[in-house]
A and B are shown apart, each in its own frame.
Chain A
Amino acid sequence: MNAVAPHVAETDRLRLAPGVMLRNDRRRDQWMLMGPERLLVLDEMALAVVRACVGPDAADVAAGIDRLTVEYDAPRTEVAADVLEMLTDLRNKGYVVT
């Protein structure tokens, strides 16, 4: 049986995958994750999640969720569900790694 890859967990520490960088493209006025032969345009929410939860000096994902919960003044369970889903998607697409 093949196991299905687990979701990103609150205890994970995430960083950008090799070759991936956060960039602002001034001409298009867009934030994006630029990676090997690909890019992902980030909306405001995705940018906030990446900034809070991913990076060389980011603590674990839980700390990022705490920050976003305060910043957006929303129930933590809802923020956590959205953030973990988004991060799992970013990991499966190869933009972030644990």
Chain B
Amino acid sequence: MSCALPAFAAASQTDPAPPFAVLMELTHRCPLRCPYCSNPVALDTASAELDTATWKRVLDEAADVGALQVHFSGGEPCVRKDLEDLVAHATEIGLYSNLITSAVLLDQPRLERLQRAGLQHVQISLQDAEAGGADRVGGFKGGHAKKLEVARAVVAQGLALTINAVLHRHNIDRVNDVIDLAMDLGAGRIEIANVQYYGWALANRAALMPSREQLLAMDAAVRARLPELAGRIVVDYVVPDYYARRPKSCMGGWARRFMNVTPRGRVLPCHAAETIPGLAFETVHDRSLSDIWRDGPAFTRYRGTDWMPDPCRSCDHKEEDWGGCRCQALALAGSADATDPVCELSPAHADVAMLRDRDAAALGTEWTYRGL
């Protein structure tokens, strides 16, 4: 998640500044089956999901800890029949509501109900600029057409629309078409994201990794358009990790801006944190979000700079990128305690290039759809 948010001042020396937002993964259920889904490979089942009353309490705790926004996500949050109810509750207690959705379960009447409940913003993922490719990646026939219909309804209703486009080998050449489509739909913002290789995407890396030539062409195309797009659509664009020389500040820094609650109520510093062995996670049944944010062991483990090894420890950028992504360090360097190997100063950086080039050359690899 890209983020140019100001850091809030901490209330005291010992208490961390409050989070900006709480991401609520209401469910892992989803009618789509994207092979790069960021949900964990072991998905929570419907019966394990928190009930309405508990989610409302978690919303209250999100406001208490000082979060300003809530992101209702998933899976597909619209499979929850209580979504309107939860949005209304968030609005009542002063939280700003974002809906992160595949849109295939939405229609105009439901959008209207959500807007009346106080929803402000809808982020819709597109799998491609054209229906054939999009429906193949999502594994859901007719999905693309439905998304376009819902996107237009979102704008017509006066809600903010963001288009989220995840790029990979099979659609990266159409980045210009995706931008054109987002503008045609009337989106205020487009996120040009590249697959992040956690969860299902990590297992499918050899089926998704774009080539260096594809990447360079996409990067040049986007950069060439940025000046003319200024003032017409906000573009959030991040160079894909495996081709970058410096890591991104993942989630704006570990346990600095966001909290994530999983469908069964586990409280995480980032949605992929469960992949890290040895981290102890609390649930919403154990303690309040405020307590967990302040001193939950998973939150304090990598917050700030004290945990850092070299080269981060002695680096001038350590409070800009916070050493990159812990989950990526685990996946690529074998330890979540290491510098993110995407950084060219990391001793494991050469391995990233090797894995990348090997996977990029594995043309013809079939992906595995995510399943439940």
Contacts and interface: CB of A to CB of B under 8 A. Distances in A.
Nearest to A34: B96
Contacts of A70: none
Nearest to A20: B160
A39 B227 contact: no
Which among B189, B224, B227, B231 has the greatest number of chain A C-beta atoms within 10 A? B231
A94 B186 CA distance: 13
Given A18-B158, A18-B188, A5 B231 contact: yes
Given A36-B98, A36-B120, A92-B230, A41 B6 contact: yes
Given A34-B96, A36-B189, A28 B8 contact: yes
A56 B121 CA distance: 19
Given A37-B121, A94-B189, A5 B159 contact: no
A22 to B, nearest CB: 12
Interface residues of B, number: 37
A36 B160 contact: yes
A36 B96 CA distance: 9
Contact of A25 (B68, B159, B189, B234): B68
A38 B98 CA distance: 10
Interface in A38-81: 38-39, 41
A53 B330 CA distance: 49
B176 to A, nearest CB: 12
Contacts of A11: none
A17 B69 CA distance: 17
A17 B20 contact: no
B71 to A, nearest CB: 7
Given A36-B120, A39-B68, A88 B162 contact: no
B185 to A, nearest CB: 13
Interface string B194-230: 0000000000000000000000000000001101111
Interface in B137-161: 155, 158-161
B188 A17 contact: yes
Given A18-B160, A36-B162, A2 B225 contact: yes
B123 A37 contact: yes
Interface in A1-44: 2-6, 17-21, 25, 27-28, 32, 34-39, 41
A39 B66 CA distance: 14
Contacts of A39: 5, 20, 68-69
Which among B120, B123, B161, B233 has the greatest number of chain A C-beta atoms within 10 A? B120
Interface string B154-190: 0100111110000000000000000000000000110
B5 to A, nearest CB: 6
B21 interface: yes
Nearest to B1: A37
Contacts of A92: 230-231, 234
A43 B159 CA distance: 27
Contact of A38 (B4, B66, B227, B233): B4
Nearest to A7: B231
Contacts of A91: 231
Given A18-B160, A39-B5, A34 B68 contact: yes
B232 interface: yes
A39 B158 CA distance: 19
A2 B227 contact: yes
B223 to A, nearest CB: 11
B6 A4 contact: no
B165 to A, nearest CB: 15
Given A18-B158, A37-B71, A4 B228 contact: yes
Contacts of B1: 37
B121 A36 contact: yes
Nearest to A94: B234
Contact of A2 (B4, B224, B234): B224
7 contacts: A3-B227, A5-B230, A36-B121, A37-B123, A38-B4, A39-B68, A39-B69
Interface of B: 1, 3-6, 8-9, 18, 20-21, 66, 68-69, 71, 96, 98, 120-121, 123, 155, 158-162, 188-189, 224-225, 227-234
Q: Report the 4 A-B pairs with minimum CB-CB distance, sorted nearest first.
A: A19-B160, A94-B234, A36-B121, A5-B231
